Structure 1
Amino acid sequence: MHITSNRPDTQQGPAENFTGSVWLDEIAAPAAPSRLRVFNVHFTPGAHTAWHRHPRGQVLHVLEGEGLVQRKGGDVEAIRAGDTVWIVPDEWHWHGAGPRTFMTHLAVVEAAKDGTTTEWDAHVGPDEYPAGGSPDTPA
């Protein structure tokens, strides 16, 4: 057993991977042979990831607020505190806060054998992010 009392400082999400203000806290990154990575991710209203995928998939668990998630070719879907999302391996997707709310989620990934956890792609276009409101809430 290992108890971590001192974690790394909060890091701002890099502009090449995020739109808006996003902050990441590394919760767990155990030494090999584990490949588990856990982050607490804080999105300001309207902030979201670029399109990306994970070689071993990803679990998101929404801790507070309301957000949005979309898989390539699918509808934008609302997510709220208490929701858990399983994103299958290599599925292109994006996620983030709703346009009027903060959103915080835990992001859990397993690194591939080569250590990679994420492949990033283009930013979500303005026509893809529903800036007027979440998909099931009137603006």
Structure 2
Amino acid sequence: MQITRSSIDTARGPGDWFTGDVYIDSVAAAPPPSRMTANLVHFMPGARTHWHRHPLSQTVFVTEGIGLCQRRGGPVEVIRPGDRALFEADEEHWHGAAPNRLMVHLAINEGDADHEVVQWLTPVTDEEYAAPPVEH
């Protein structure tokens, strides 16, 4: 067993990955042979990722607030606490907070010597972000 005491400062999400105010807390980054990493990501209202893809997929688990997500070519979807969104390997997508609510999610990713954890693409435009969401 290994206990890592909370000593890593909250990081501000870089502007070349996110639009708006985003804060990231590292949760898990086990040494090889593990391939899993996890981050708790806090999106302020209106904040969102840029378009991106994960060569080995990504799961996000919403813990607080109201979020939005979209895969390339699909509708904008509303995500709420307890919802899990699985983005398939290499599926271009984005996720973030609703315009008037913050959203926090746990992002679980894999990476290895042959696959980066994430490939960042272009920003989500205001028009893409403002598309009417689908509620389930």
How high is the TM-score relative to the length of structure 2?
0.94
Deviation at 1:22, TM superposition (A): 0.2
Q: Secondary structure at the match of 1:127?
A: helix
In structure 1, the gaps of 5 or more residues are: none
- Measure, in 2, the Cα distance between the counterparts of 1:59 and 1:51: 15
- Measure, in 2, the Cα distance between the counterparts of 1:60 and 1:7: 24
Q: Secondary structure at the match of 1:128?
A: helix
The one-letter code sitting in structure 1 at the alignment partner of 2:16 is: E
The answer to whether the 8 A contact 2:56-2:115 is kept is no
- Measure, in 1, the Cα distance between the counterparts of 2:76 and 2:70: 5
CA pair 50-16 structure 1, distance change in 2 beyond 3 A? same
Q: Within 5 Å, which residues of 2 pair with 1:101-116?
A: 101-114=101-114, 116=116
1:82 and 2:82 correspond: yes
In structure 2, the residue matched to 1:135 is 133
In structure 1, the residue matched to 2:55 is 55
The answer to whether the 8 A contact 1:38-1:108 is kept is yes
- Measure, in 2, the Cα distance between the counterparts of 1:118 and 1:112: 11
1:66 and 2:52 correspond: no
CA pair 115-74 structure 1, distance change in 2 beyond 3 A? closer
The one-letter code sitting in structure 1 at the alignment partner of 2:133 is: P
Q: Secondary structure at the match of 1:32?
A: coil
In structure 2, the residue matched to 1:38 is 38
Deviation at 1:7, TM superposition (A): 4.1
The one-letter code sitting in structure 2 at the alignment partner of 1:103 is: M
How high is the TM-score relative to the length of structure 1?
0.92
The one-letter code sitting in structure 1 at the alignment partner of 2:56 is: R
Deviation at 1:6, TM superposition (A): 2.8
In structure 2, the gaps of 5 or more residues are: none
Q: Secondary structure at the match of 2:99?
A: coil
